[in-house]
Structure 1
Amino acid sequence: MKCIAGLGNPGKKYDKTRHNVGFMVIDELLRRHDWKEKKDKFSGKSVVETVNGEKIILLKPQTYMNLSGESVRPLTDFYHIGVEDVMVIYDDLDLPAGKIRLRQKGGHGGHNGIRSIIDHLGTKEFKRLRIGIGRPENAMPVVDYVLRPFSKDEKMDVDKSISLAADACEAWMQKPFPEVMNEFNC
């Protein structure tokens, strides 16, 4: 069984913001497979489906970004999912808009959602799919930047990265993560 958690903030106010690209990838996977998410007891929206004989859980924590671990940990405990079978999708300021990067493990890099998951899982050993959102120009505070929608100029690149990230998730549903990294980390 694998868990793919896309991070974001719940509510219409945050719906199309940079911080919600993790949710956008989960939404793309739901759309592609015609799967329906539901609210559950893990402080999130999730769906459990079977792909090639393996159960896949897609999760969108509804705890707000900084508390994402409060959703991921209870779900992984309930389903007995080891950290080696968890992938988290989130926004990354250090990648340009439109780029994605997969990693086997790592630190939080200042991302509070990842920090929360590390704290709750007690390890940094889970897989990550980072989606580039770029850095703010001028002196815009990061917090304002990540909570803004993408500009029209960025939108096309971001839509491509969301589609590519969904492709990478689908690949991981069928093959080992190192192969997926080799294919998608260009």
Structure 2
Amino acid sequence: MKLFVGLGNPGKEYEQTRHNIGFFVIDELAKRWNVSLKTAKFRGLFGTASVFGEKVALCKPLTYMNLSGECVCPLIDFYDIAVDDVIIIYDDLDLPPGKIRLRLKGGSGGHNGVKSIIHHLGTEQFKRIRIGIGRPTNGQPVADYVLSRFTEEEKPAVMEAVLRAADACEQAVTTPFIQVMNDFNE
């Protein structure tokens, strides 16, 4: 089973924020694959489907960003999912809005949700799709910036990035991730 996890924060007040871009991708995949995301005992919204003949699972942790590993790791353990079959999708301050970057492994890059997953999994060896949200340019604290909404000017590029990230996830169902990286990294 392939597990796609989009990071974000639960609650109406966070729905359209930069930090929730991972949730945007999971919502897009759920729509494409007709997956119903239901609350699971793993403190997240979770659903499964068969896509291109492969079993896939989608997850949106409801633990708040900084505790994402508390949802992801029990889910991986319960369903006996290989870490190599996990793809984490999240926002990245170091990429401009609308850019995506896929990686086979790596550190957290300062992202607290990824730090939590690394801590709970005990490894950095998981795939990820990073979606650019840019950095604040007006002196706004980073914590406030990631919880802000995209500007009208940013929205078209961001929504295009969400669709491209979902396309990359679809390709990753049946294609080696290194090939997906070659096809989607900008």
Specify the alignment match of 2:33 in structure 1: 33
Checking the alignment, whether the CA contact within 8 Å between 2:33 and 2:49 is kept in structure 1 is no
- Secondary structure of the corresponding residue to residue 173 of structure 1: helix
Task: Determine the C-alpha separation between the residues in 2 that align with 1:52 and 1:23.
Answer: 22
For residue 55 of structure 1, report the CA deviation from its aligned partner.
1.1
Task: Determine the C-alpha separation between the residues in 1 that align with 2:107 and 2:68.
Answer: 15
For residue 70 of structure 1, report the CA deviation from its aligned partner.
0.2
Task: Determine the C-alpha separation between the residues in 1 that align with 2:169 and 2:53.
Answer: 16
For residue 33 of structure 1, report the CA deviation from its aligned partner.
2.1
What are the superposed Cα offsets for residues 93-150 of structure 1, whole Å, 9 maximum, x if unpaired?
A: 0000000000000000100000000000000000000000000012100000000010
What are the superposed Cα offsets for residues 148-175 of structure 1, whole Å, 9 maximum, x if unpaired?
A: 0100000000000000000000000111
Aligned length: 186
- Secondary structure of the corresponding residue to residue 90 of structure 2: strand
For residue 53 of structure 1, report the CA deviation from its aligned partner.
2.6
For structure 1, which runs of at least 5 residues remain unmatched after alignment?
Answer: none
Is it true that 1:87 corresponds to 2:87 in the alignment? yes
Task: Determine the C-alpha separation between the residues in 2 that align with 1:88 and 1:185.
Answer: 16
What value does the CA root-mean-square deviation take over the aligned residues?
A: 0.7
Checking the alignment, whether the CA contact within 8 Å between 2:17 and 2:148 is kept in structure 1 is yes
Equivalent residue runs for 1:1-186 within 5 Å: 1-186=1-186
Task: Determine the C-alpha separation between the residues in 1 that align with 2:95 and 2:114.
Answer: 16
Alignment-mate amino acid for residue 179 of structure 1 = Q
For residue 52 of structure 1, report the CA deviation from its aligned partner.
2.6
For residue 31 of structure 1, report the CA deviation from its aligned partner.
1.3
Task: Determine the C-alpha separation between the residues in 1 that align with 2:128 and 2:40.
Answer: 23
Q: What is the percentage of aligned positions where both structures have the same residue?
A: 61
Task: Determine the C-alpha separation between the residues in 2 that align with 1:114 and 1:55.
Answer: 24
Task: Determine the C-alpha separation between the residues in 1 that align with 2:52 and 2:132.
Answer: 30
For structure 2, which runs of at least 5 residues remain unmatched after alignment?
Answer: none
Task: Determine the C-alpha separation between the residues in 1 that align with 2:80 and 2:36.
Answer: 23
TM-score normalised over the length of structure 1:
0.99
Task: State which drifts further: 60-69 or 28-37.
Answer: 28-37
Task: Determine the C-alpha separation between the residues in 1 that align with 2:46 and 2:39.
Answer: 7
Alignment-mate amino acid for residue 27 of structure 2 = D
